[in-house]
Amino acid sequence: MRKDHPKAAFVTGVTGQDGSYMAEFLLSQGYAVHGLKRPSSVSNTQRIEPLMQDAPQRFFLHEGDLTDSAGMARLVQQVQPDEIYNLAAQSRVDVSFDAPAYTATVDALGPLYLLEAIRLLGLAGKTRFYQASTSELFGHAEETPQSETTPFRPCSPYGVAKLYAYGITATYRRAYGLHACNGILFNHESPRRGEGFVTRKITRGLARLAQGLGGPVSLGNLDARRDWGHARDYVRMQWLMLQQPEPEDFVIATGQSASVRDFLCLAADELGLTLRFQGAGATEAAFVARIEGDQAPALRVGDPVMVVDPRHFRPLEVPALCGDATKAGKHLGWRPEVTLPQLCAEMVAADLAAARREAALRVPDHAMAEPVGD
Ligand code: NAP
Ligand code: F7E
């Protein structure tokens, strides 16, 4: 890439998990990166703070909301991007059951507004478009593992909204010749994962519990199985998709699946804890059976570490997903580099460091007590 005229990328959702890794990656490739940030009365830039400091000449933030079609067209016109990565979304499947119309507006119509902007501004020959599609499209999948040819059977408002986005992306590719691609991504996590998603809820919850901050982690369906990869590996593949001469859709996955219970045990193991499960379904709980090392000074054998709370059960669950990324390997030479135990270890280490910092700052109760008068 020419240094005096770097490629320009427009990244929606830049403040999110993937957006922050994507911005980092694109900057490392020499791009000028323009990120869309939602206006907010409190700071929402924690994940991109280092980039704002380190690359002020090549990293630009624009305030706006994906649901503002005119605002999106204005930004696309201003930035004239070579590549758009549409990563912004209401990305919580559980939340989509409580906010289905909002989820549809952001997740289905948002990508349409960007595609229309590319088309109407006459940028079809210049601007390439990446849509963050999802394994939730497969829903109650008809076959395992799922690939680019597996039929879609979404079973959440999130999955259904993302199905529209998938379809409209493919339609603009075919109808108007846009270089527009869907990445059908299976779950991917990192220390930057939002705190409401199950892996982060577990690593953060256990790390805090181990340091005497907070109570047992409360979870829903322990038997759900997911194909979990590392977000850093997955943004590299999103970029590779837009570098192909012809636009195509790809599944991005590790090909391995594990249950929520497996992940809980892996995270506990990282803290030197062996768990004993008791009960079943809505009354299941997990207790400390053995402790090794000094990572969990606040816990004793027999302490509860996890309780099932039926409020976390979903109206409709996707019981199991596992992806087949053979096409990505063959066409683009992509393979995930991080295994699930490595991912879990990285997340636990980051959350344990944060919990230790928080515990160290805590004022002991006795120090807060009123002095007894003499
Ligand atoms: P995330 O951490 O939840 O980030 C979502 C981003 O979208 C945040 O920056 C958020 O801004 C922004 N956003 C939400 N609503 C917006 C709106 N109306 N206008 C502008 N920005 C808005 O999600 P992620 O894990 O990085 O996922 C990135 C994309 O991949 C999403 O589209 C998600 O649906 C999709 N996906 C994720 C996975 C996964 O496992 N991570 C798998 C498949 C597909 P705030 O910071 O202000 O909230
Ligand atoms: O749930 C179960 C839950 O919320 C995973 C998003 O990035 O990946 C993500 O969606 C599983 C589900 O992710 C709790 O029922 C149990 O079976 O971490 P999650 P998700 O729903 O798979 C897809 C590919 C996306 O596209 C989405 O944007 O874990 N589970 N107990 C729980 N889940 C949560 N959140 N909280 C619990 O307490």
- Rg for the chain, CA atoms, rounded: 22
Band of pLDDT at residue 373, cut at 50, 70 and 90: very low
* pLDDT-derived band at 98, boundaries 50, 70, 90: very high
Distance 134 CA to ligand 1 centre (A): 12
Provide the CB-side half-sphere exposure for 159 (13 A, CA): 17
Does the pLDDT value for residue 291 go beyond 90? yes
Asked if pLDDT for residue 374 goes beyond 50, the answer is no
> Whose CA is closest to atom 6 on ligand 1?
13
User: What is the total residue count of the chain?
Assistant: 374
107 C-alpha to ligand 1 centroid (Å): 9
Which pLDDT belongs to residue 54? 86
Give distance in angstroms: CA of 365 to centre of ligand 2.
37
The protein residue whose alpha carbon is closest to atom 12 in ligand 2 is 224
Q: Is the dihedral of CA 103, 226, 333, 339 positive or negative?
A: positive
Q: Is residue 227's pLDDT more than 90?
A: yes
- The residues that bridge with 170 in the sheet, in sequence order, are none
Closest ligand 2 atom to the C-alpha of 156? Answer: 21
Q: What is the pLDDT of residue 326?
A: 98
Instruction: Report the nearest atom of ligand 1 relative to the CA of 184.
Output: 43
Describe the strand order of the beta sheet including 180-185 as a list of residue ranges: 59-63, 32-37, 8-12, 83-86, 128-134, 180-185, 250-252
Q: Is the per-residue pLDDT at 364 higher than 70? A: no
- Give the rounded percent of residues in the chain with a pLDDT score beyond 90: 94
Could you report the per-residue pLDDT of 235-256, keeping only the tens digit for each? 999 999 999 999 999 999 999 9
Please tell me the distance between residue 94's alpha carbon and the centre of ligand 1 in angstroms.
Answer: 14
**Residue 105 confidence (pLDDT):** 98
Is a pLDDT exceeding 80 seen at residue 367? no
Interval 122-152: pLDDT, tens = 999 999 999 999 999 999 999 999 999 999 9
Give the C-alpha separation, 5 to 23, whole Å: 18
Range name among 5-9, 165-169, 248-252, 270-274 with the lowest pLDDT average? 5-9
For residues 345-352, average pLDDT: 98
pLDDT at 370 over 80: no
pLDDT at 111: 98
Read off the pLDDT of each residue in 46-74 and give the average, rounded to a whole number: 95
What would the mean pLDDT of 328-357 be, rounded to a whole number?
98
Which residue, judged by its Cα, is nearest atom 23 of ligand 2? Answer: 187
Distance CA 71, CA 37 (A): 12
The pLDDT of residue 368: 60
Q: Which atom of ligand 2 is nearest to the CA of 220?
A: 31
For 75-88, b/e burial (b = at least 16 CB within 10 A) is bbeebebbbbbbbb
pLDDT average, residue stretch 303-320: 98
Q: Is the pTM of this model over 0.85?
A: yes
Query: In three state form, how does the secondary structure of the chain look?
Result: CCCCCCCEEEEECCCCHHHHHHHHHHHHCCCEEEEEECCCCCCCCHHHHHHHHHCCCCEEEEECCCCCHHHHHHHHHHHCCCEEEECCCCCCHHHHHHCHHHHHHHHHHHHHHHHHHHHHCCCCCCCEEEEEEEHHHCCCCCCCCECCCCCCCCCCHHHHHHHHHHHHHHHHHHHHCCCEEEEEECCEECCCCCCCCHHHHHHHHHHHHHCCCCCCEEECCCCCEECCEEHHHHHHHHHHHHHCCCCCCEEECCCCCEEHHHHHHHHHHHCCEEEEEECCHHHCEEEEEEECCCCCCCCCCCCEEEEECHHHCCCCCCCECCECCHHHHHHHCCCCCCCHHHHHHHHHHHHHHHHHHHHHHCCCHHHHCCCCCC
The residues annotated as belonging to the active site are 134, 136, 158
